[in-house]
Amino acid sequence: MQNYTSVAEFILLGIPNTGGLENMLFVLFLAFYLFTLLGNLLIFLTILVSSNLHTPMYSFLGNLSVFDICFPSVSSPKMMLYLMGQSQTISYQGCASQVFFYHFLGGTECFLYTVMAYDRFVAICHPLQYMVIMNHKVCTRLIVGTWLGGCLHGSILTFLVLRLPYCGPNEVDNFFCDIPVVLPLACADTSLAQTVSFTNVDVVTLTCFFLILTSYGHTILSILKINSCEGRRQAFSTCSAHLISILLLYGPVMLIYLWPASSPWLDSVIQVLNNIVTPSLNPLIYTLRNKDVKLALRKVLTQVVHFPGA
């Protein structure tokens, strides 16, 4: 790759039509980023130290919190640096890292949400066999499989895109490096890379989405068969947070990769929602709608507050 690459760095052009708003955007994105880090770290630590949350469902939620810490960290620090007036350039290796980790974590998220949907399907449709089907060994394998699958997904896409020669221009029409904005800069035929990479993204995204829909289709049918209104309400409440997160994930992803290109400004806004806003909402979604997490979180916070005086 080094033998054929003459471009040593790329220039991130940022979000179009936001000139003069750098200070305001910096404060806004910094607030979202810090809230994301603190909120998800708090949920992860709460699950880690609360023995009553050591179940498959909360193991997956803990992994989702780790993901929500890592995912915005791919693009947010560099973006906030150039909003502060620092250089907008990013090295070739830095750009390659952003492409890899963005799709590594994006693939992991798709697989993780699919596993979480399956977990809810087993819990509601086969409650008596839940702990047998979702035992510790199966749960561990599913978690490891989501991260390994995401790593393979990101590696394939990064190899396809960055094996091409880049001779200039080197201006990336976004606030971070991603396939749709990096591929047009290659000074070679990109048809094969474009076809394979977007097919890969489409296959992973749509396959996971189809499995999630299938799983929740069966789950909802089982919930509707429950005789008591209270039972149906409790069953729906265990799924509602997950369904909201799925909508927040697949909405932006489908607009970016499956919808015809609209405008650089709209694409950047969608990426901001996907990279920065959505990860900050998951702590609110899962704590406000989950009684067990709220109780455990309140207990942990109480212990933290009283610890200095102990």
- DSSP per residue, 109-153: HHHHHHHHHHHHHHHHHSGGGHHHHT-HHHHHHHHHHHHHHHHHH
| Cα–Cα nearest to 10, from 177, 171, 247 | 171
Compute CA 152 distance to the chain's CA centroid, rounded to the nearest angstrom: 16
Per-residue model confidence (pLDDT) at position 301: 76
For residue 283, the model assigns a pLDDT of 80
| Nearest Cα residue to 232 out of 222, 242, 245, 241 | 222
pLDDT score of 5: 47
Residue 192's domain spans which residues? 2-306
Inter-residue contact 111 to 150 (CB < 8 Å): yes
Q: Alpha-carbon distance 101 to 282, whole Å?
A: 20
**What is the signed CA dihedral for 249, 253, 258, 263, rounded to 10 degrees?**
130
pLDDT on residue 112: 92
- In eight-state DSSP terms, residue 260 is P
**Residue 173: CATH number of its domain:** 1.20.1070.10
Residues 217/220/226/227 CA torsion (nearest 10 deg):
-110
Whether residue 91 contacts residue 8, with contact meaning beta carbons closer than 8 Å, is answered with yes
Question: Which residue ranges in the chain fall short of pLDDT 50?
Answer: 1-3, 5, 310
CA atoms within 13 A on the CB side of 217: 6
**101-111: pLDDT as tens digits:** 999 998 898 89
Cα 7 to Cα 186: distance, rounded to the nearest angstrom: 10
Question: Which backbone phi and psi does 89 adopt, to 5 degrees?
Answer: -80, 150
Distance CA 53, CA 152 (A): 30
Q: Could you tell me whether strands 89-91 and 9-12 are parallel, antiparallel, or unpaired per DSSP bridges?
A: antiparallel
Residue with tokens 């990109």: 190
Decide: helix, strand or coil at residue 164: coil
Q: How many domains does the chain have?
A: 1
pLDDT at 308: 55
Whether 74 contacts 275, CB under 8 Å: yes
pLDDT at position 289 is: 63
